[in-house]
A and B are shown apart, each in its own frame.
Chain A
Amino acid sequence: MSFLPADASAVMELRDVTKVFVAGDSRISALDRVSLRVERGQFVAILGRSGSGKSTLLSILGCLDSPTSGEVFLSGIKVSGMSESELARVRNRRIGFVFQNFQLLPYYDALANVEMPLLYADVVDAPARAARLLRKVGLGDRMRHLPSQLSGGQRQRAAIARALANDPQLLLADEPTGNLDTRTGQEVMGLFRELHASGSTIVLVTHDPQIAAAAQRVITLSDGAVVGDRGALGAGGSA
């Protein structure tokens, strides 16, 4: 338990976060007293093998899951005790998700997919804003296409446009290049770098050290604990 006040300059702060899954008789400790801070404007990669707890960490960062113990702060606001409705609002306004398998709705065209977070935020000119976002990621001429009519890279770019819809404080990506070939994967990583350069805070989860190398800061996870934290400006700890 820390008595230090939450720092609003940190986009994300975890204090002693533990996540335990109960499966029948066994208790699996996915995260073990993890504490970390993500500062505004950082491009962080969370590197780990499968089972390292990186997906669990991402879902806690994304307010999709609550820790078993410990506290989570988003821009100084404590989110670890919030109700599901409140968390939904937080996710809608402050967090953007990019998934490995894109998670686009198959019966919506690209424009409708990108509009979705805007509509849940009761934005009035949702179609216009969605169109702008699609143009920003280079899909200006494919707005009316269904996901089935887009290539893998284009789908991921549409998903990124959707993640940026409500101008989130934090962009979270879970193995964003996992379903893409090497070349398309590099294009998508290039897009992430562009976004970082224009000020976005990005946290990316991967098992591939080469992908992780594209980030500014690499946190290595193993068996639910942080074992390495390289590249953070002024941060201590190294592998």
Chain B
Amino acid sequence: MRLRECARIARKNLSANKTRSLLSVLGLIIGIASSTVVAAISNGLRLAVLESLSSLGTNVLTIYPNVDPSRNRVGVIDLEGLARVSRLPFVEAAFPLLTFSAEARGDLGGVQVNAVGVLPRYLEVYRIPFVGGRSFVDQDVRLRSRVCLLNQDLARRLYGTSDPLGRLLRFGKSLYTVVGLVREPNVPLSLGRQVESLYIPLDTLRRQEEGLNTSNGGAEVWVRKDYAGDPKDDILSAISGDPSKKSAYLIVDPKALIDEAQKTSRKLELSMLALAGISLIVGGVGIMNVMLISVAERTREVGLRKAVGATPRDILTQFLIEVMALSAVGGCGGVVLGGAVVRLAPEFGAGDVPMAVMPSAVCCAVAFSVLVGVVFGLYPAYKAAALSPLEALRYD
């Protein structure tokens, strides 16, 4: 019964004083809205990272020759060493990164492009989507066939609207046949990998463009995804052959990069959450202030209720329920506002910031609002409960 009366009181009071209710809970709404946006951003980033990680078929490490400062010379990747690496049990493939820059000519003209030499499984590992034609097969590798894969955009520029499959393409000094079309993968974070526009089998490229017996960049090592250990030491030993020369090489592990990035983003998250927390406290103080005013204005009412039989606990409960209802509504409003900001962010140019609102975050936000309401409403409620009925009745 009393709960019903408390609910009725809360409803009547909040709707009788809509403006004041809104103002009292405005700070909370803003606090919850900003917390929602922060949570959405950090959640979105986390999802993007996960997606990027899972978009890689295997764990791809890159080996770079270490720059020797004393000799001021860039080292080169020893191909024999690389062969040793490829024979390691957990390595799926190891090959030099070969890119060659030249003009590619098609029917409509020529464009300067970077062609990259790849193994047949490259497209699969990097999840590059096929649009037409076929990928490279082992035969292409064995025969060092002059075939190539084109990116859709490049195809449009070189051949216009006509089908490029089967057509000839001049790249550098040689002619290649276009056997397949690809497009860019849909990955939110490309992890530093540039998407090339022209793919040629690795051995073909090495043969065609002379003088490329050593890697002009680094080398790529594909480590089996299920390998749980740290492959870096073994790879370094294999490639240098001589343990003392291990420092001649540098390994870049994207997983490590991601871990680093996640650590940094977590720090950022925490500081953003702290700010959001501060704004919640400010919101709570706002609620407390307005409640103090409300209690003062309703002193006679409290006196009357006590005179007809409300115990101090009844009064405390009544005001706490009022403040809980108010902050629950405020919390929902804050979530709606935060959700709207997340929704509308792309319209205002913030579209590349990944954001995702989770239902659990919403429930957390509302629960937190109620908590803030109770904590900051406790003092005014207590003041009301402690009023002497006689003095309260005489209050002007």
Smallest CB gap from A163: residue in B:
B308
Smallest CB gap from B6: residue in A:
A119
Q: Are B393 and A107 in contact (CB under 8 A)?
A: no
Known: A85-B312, A88-B310, A99-B393. A105 touches B304 (CB 8 A): yes
Known: A107-B12, A107-B13. A89 touches B2 (CB 8 A): no
Q: Are B311 and A97 in contact (CB under 8 A)?
A: no
Q: Are A91 and B390 in contact (CB under 8 A)?
A: no
Q: Are B313 and A119 in contact (CB under 8 A)?
A: no
> When each residue 1-40 of chain B gets 1 if its CB lies under 8 Å from chain A and 0 otherwise, what string results?
1101100100011001000000000000000000000000
Q: B5 — which chain A residues lie within 8 A by C-beta?
A: 115-116, 119-120
Q: Are A85 and B313 in contact (CB under 8 A)?
A: yes
Q: B12 — which chain A residues lie within 8 A by C-beta?
A: 107-108
Smallest CB gap from B4: residue in A:
A119
Of A67-75, A122-130, A199-207, A227-235, the segment with at least 4 beta carbons within 8 Å of chain B is: A122-130
Give the interface centre of A62, A108, A120 by most chain B CB atoms within 10 Å: A120
A24 to chain B, nearest CB (A): 17
Whole-angstrom distance between the alpha carbons of A49 and B284 in the complex?
49
Whole-angstrom distance between the alpha carbons of A117 and B307 in the complex?
9
Q: Indicate whether A77 reaches chain B with its CB closer than 8 angstroms.
A: no
Q: Are B312 and A92 in contact (CB under 8 A)?
A: no
Q: Indicate whether B309 reaches chain A with its CB closer than 8 angstroms.
A: yes
Q: Indicate whether B196 reaches chain A with its CB closer than 8 angstroms.
A: no
> When each residue 139-162 of chain B gets 1 if its CB lies under 8 Å from chain A and 0 otherwise, what string results?
000000000000000000000000
Whole-angstrom distance between the alpha carbons of A107 and B304 in the complex?
14
Q: Are B1 and A122 in contact (CB under 8 A)?
A: yes
Q: Are B2 and A119 in contact (CB under 8 A)?
A: yes
Q: Are B311 and A64 in contact (CB under 8 A)?
A: no
Q: Are A120 and B390 in contact (CB under 8 A)?
A: no
Q: Are B393 and A88 in contact (CB under 8 A)?
A: no
Chain A interfacial residues counted at CB < 8 A: 31
Whole-angstrom distance between the alpha carbons of A10 and B305 in the complex?
27
Q: Are B311 and A84 in contact (CB under 8 A)?
A: yes
Chain B interfacial residues counted at CB < 8 A: 24
Q: Are B13 and A91 in contact (CB under 8 A)?
A: no
Q: Are A59 and B390 in contact (CB under 8 A)?
A: yes
> When each residue 169-185 of chain A gets 1 if its CB lies under 8 Å from chain B and 0 otherwise, what string results?
00000000000000000
Smallest CB gap from A165: residue in B:
B308
Whole-angstrom distance between the alpha carbons of A97 and B390 in the complex?
12
Whole-angstrom distance between the alpha carbons of A153 and B393 in the complex?
21
Whole-angstrom distance between the alpha carbons of A121 and B314 in the complex?
11
> When each residue 37-51 of chain B gets 1 if its CB lies under 8 Å from chain A and 0 otherwise, what string results?
000000000000000
Q: Are A84 and B312 in contact (CB under 8 A)?
A: yes
> When each residue 273-313 of chain B gets 1 if its CB lies under 8 Å from chain A and 0 otherwise, what string results?
00000000000000000000000000011001111111111
Give the interface centre of B4, B16, B393 by most chain A CB atoms within 10 Å: B393
Q: Are B312 and A123 in contact (CB under 8 A)?
A: no
Q: A64 — which chain B residues lie within 8 A by C-beta?
A: 307, 389-390, 393
> When each residue 77-116 of chain A gets 1 if its CB lies under 8 Å from chain B and 0 otherwise, what string results?
0000000110011011100010100010101100010011
Q: Are B314 and A120 in contact (CB under 8 A)?
A: yes
For chain B, residues 91 to 149, give those with C-beta under 8 angstroms from any C-beta of chain A. Answer: none
A122 to chain B, nearest CB (A): 5
Smallest CB gap from B298: residue in A:
A105
Whole-angstrom distance between the alpha carbons of A97 and B304 in the complex?
9
Q: A105 — which chain B residues lie within 8 A by C-beta?
A: 301, 304
Give the interface centre of A99, A105, A126 by most chain B CB atoms within 10 Å: A105
Smallest CB gap from B300: residue in A:
A103
Q: Indicate whether A155 reaches chain B with its CB closer than 8 angstroms.
A: no
Pick the residue among B1, B300, B301 that contacts A123 (CB under 8 A): B1
Q: A119 — which chain B residues lie within 8 A by C-beta?
A: 1-2, 4-5
Q: Are A93 and B309 in contact (CB under 8 A)?
A: yes
Q: B308 — which chain A residues lie within 8 A by C-beta?
A: 91-92, 97, 116-117, 120, 162, 165
Q: A91 — which chain B residues lie within 8 A by C-beta?
A: 306-309
Rank and list the top 9 A-B pairs by shortest CB-CB distance, nearest first: A92-B309, A120-B309, A119-B5, A117-B308, A88-B311, A85-B311, A122-B1, A64-B390, A103-B304
Give chain B's interface residues, CB within 8 Å of chain A.
1-2, 4-5, 8, 12-13, 16, 300-301, 304-314, 389-390, 393
Could you give 29 example pairs across A and B, Cβ below 8 Å?
A62-B307, A64-B307, A64-B389, A64-B393, A84-B311, A85-B311, A85-B312, A88-B312, A89-B311, A91-B306, A91-B307, A92-B308, A92-B309, A97-B308, A99-B393, A103-B300, A105-B301, A112-B8, A116-B5, A116-B305, A116-B308, A117-B308, A119-B1, A119-B2, A120-B310, A121-B309, A122-B1, A123-B1, A165-B308
Identify 12 new A-B residue pairs, CB closer than 8 A, beyond the known A88-B306, A107-B12.
Answer: A64-B389, A64-B390, A84-B311, A89-B309, A105-B301, A115-B5, A116-B5, A116-B308, A119-B2, A119-B4, A122-B1, A122-B2
